[in-house]
Amino acid sequence: MDKMSKKYKCLFIKQPFADEFAKGRMTVHIMQRPIAYRGEIIICAEDGSGEQYGMYDGAWLARAEIVDCIPVAELTREQIAQSDMMGHRRKAYALILGNIRRLVEFPCHGHGFVTMELNEDDMVEYPTLVQLDRKGYEMLLTGRWRKK
């Protein structure tokens, strides 16, 4: 099978924040410069940033969309609570992310906000819906699916 490669914008974030973005718990990323790009990006964990936390590093974690990029001073309290802001970047810019979908982790190396050619065949989203038959549903309810 032919692998389909495509250019993607990749946003490399240090751990543990990259994992929080991938899970959708954080939706606002603080950067030093504004970004004009709007659209789909790949959220990646920076190399070496997850070692002390026991998390993935040097891997892509999720797909998302950049919805907006605004000065940090314009953030609402709710947006600040969902950001990786440490309080020391008042003159920075906030990337507002939406439509975050977790990907199965795969090695990806870089730094900052870059364009990379990635294989689409390697991008597999974690399932968000599982369909069970009646027997499987009953096994889940009773806990019989666990190995003894």
Rounded CA separation 93/16 (Å): 20
Tell me the pLDDT tens digit for each residue of 38-57.
Answer: 999 999 998 886 677 778 88
Token pair of 8 as six digits:
């993607």
Which H/E stretch holds residue 63? strand 59-71
Higher pLDDT, 123 or 51: 123
Mean pLDDT of the chain: 85
